[in-house]
Amino acid sequence: MDNDQLKKIIEGALLAAGRSLDIGQLQGLFDLDQMPPKDQLLAVLDDIGNDCRGRGYELKLTGSGYRFQVCQELAPWINRLWDEKPKKYSRALLETLALIAYRQPLTRGDIEEIRGVSVSSEIIKTLLEREWVRVVGHRDVPGRPALYATTREFLDYFSLKSLEQLPALNDFRDIDSLDPELSLDMADRGGDTTDQEQFSEEPGEPAVEDDQSIVVANADDNGITQH
């Protein structure tokens, strides 16, 4: 199969899927006798990425594979397509998520010790329901507390290929600097009322709006765990 035809198939598949597709999934689109080799697929994906330059969308490599998404800088305009207000997450939730991302695996007690305040069950529940974190084991101490780590869904949501792409801690002075890293895909705009709530652990703490880049396609979230 020539590269032009292969490019059309890959572009169509990525648009239809509305989620990240890895090389194996892309190869699975073809019969065995027509399956393109990995190097040909990578070359075609590179061409597609180059074709997107200067456009309103881009080809992004995340933890689960490749996907199309609207360029982050266009979010203030694209978000006006929906009537719903952006999700809001409290500082406490973002601090908890950041600690898990940078110091994983760690327990709820570890987080409370670092933050100096208790972590509400609602925050842990929200992170688990969003599939941004998962239980990867239990510490061998009395009570056997759960150890939490991030997932591939976390990488996909924040448009990261791996944890190595997280900004260095000295690149921002406080948790509010994480806000521009937030991204929201179109499926989340489809009426998930639970996540529209403002989760606040401590009275009076500000919420951070989730109003950044949007994935081009309307498909359901697909959480895939890491490690």
What CATH number does residue 38 fall under?
1.10.10.10
Q: How confident is the model at residue 86 (pLDDT cuts 50, 70, 90)?
A: low
Answer yes or no: do 127 and 108 share one domain.
yes
Q: What pLDDT does residue 197 have?
A: 33
Q: How confident is the model at residue 79 (pLDDT cuts 50, 70, 90)?
A: confident
**CA separation for the pair 85, 101 (Å, rounded):** 27
Residues 6+ apart with CB under 8 A from 13: 21, 26, 29
Q: Domain range spanning residue 201?
A: 78-210
Answer yes or no: do 37 and 91 share one domain.
no
Q: What pLDDT does residue 99 have?
A: 92
Q: What pLDDT does residue 2 have?
A: 87
In a domain, 221, yes or no: no
Q: Model-level pTM?
A: 0.60
**CA separation for the pair 56, 72 (Å, rounded):** 9
In a domain, 167, yes or no: yes
In a domain, 220, yes or no: no
Q: Could you say which of 40, 72, 104 is where a domain stops?
A: 72
Q: Would you say the C-alpha torsion 25, 29, 33, 38 has a positive or negative sign? A: negative
pLDDT at 129 over 50: yes
In a domain, 135, yes or no: yes
- The one-letter amino acid code at 184 reads L
- Total tally of structural domains belonging to the chain: 2
Answer yes or no: do 175 and 135 share one domain.
yes
pLDDT at 154 over 80: yes
Answer yes or no: do 151 and 188 share one domain.
yes
Average pLDDT over residues 10-39: 93
Asked if 202 contacts 59 with a C-beta cutoff of 8 angstroms, the reply is no
Q: Could you say which of 72, 101, 116 is where a domain stops?
A: 72
pLDDT at 90 over 50: yes
Answer yes or no: do 82 and 175 share one domain.
yes
pLDDT at 177 over 50: no
Q: What pLDDT does residue 30 have?
A: 94
Answer yes or no: do 60 and 96 share one domain.
no
User: What average pLDDT does the chain have?
Assistant: 77
Closest alpha carbon to 86 in 75, 98, 101: 75
Answer yes or no: do 59 and 106 share one domain.
no
**CA separation for the pair 215, 17 (Å, rounded):** 11
Answer yes or no: do 18 and 93 share one domain.
no
Average pLDDT over residues 183-203: 33
Q: How many residues does the chain have?
A: 227
Q: How confident is the model at residue 204 (pLDDT cuts 50, 70, 90)?
A: very low
Answer yes or no: do 11 and 93 share one domain.
no
